[in-house]
Amino acid sequence: MRGVSCPGPIVQAKKLLDGMKAGEVLQLVSDCPGSADDMKSWAKAGVAELMFSHESGRGVHEFYLRKA
């Protein structure tokens, strides 16, 4: 999701997760500055479990989301 501004990463993640089975994991990479806070809040809403996230450098964030 590089080059996609917020809330684009969440919109795309939702579309991808909708096509996945419960328990499957989605890796998402985003350079949107607000994506870290957005993903944490979104996961708390129960759509997916945020298993792991980190900033890999230069403002690029990596997320691993497990479909609920």
**Is 6 noted as a catalytic residue in this protein?**
yes
Catalytically annotated residue among 4, 6, 26, 50: 6
CA-CA distances (angstroms) from residue 14 to 22, 47, 67?
13, 8, 10
CA gap 66, 68 in Å, rounded:
6
Encoded amino acid at 57, one letter: G
The residues that are catalytic are: 6
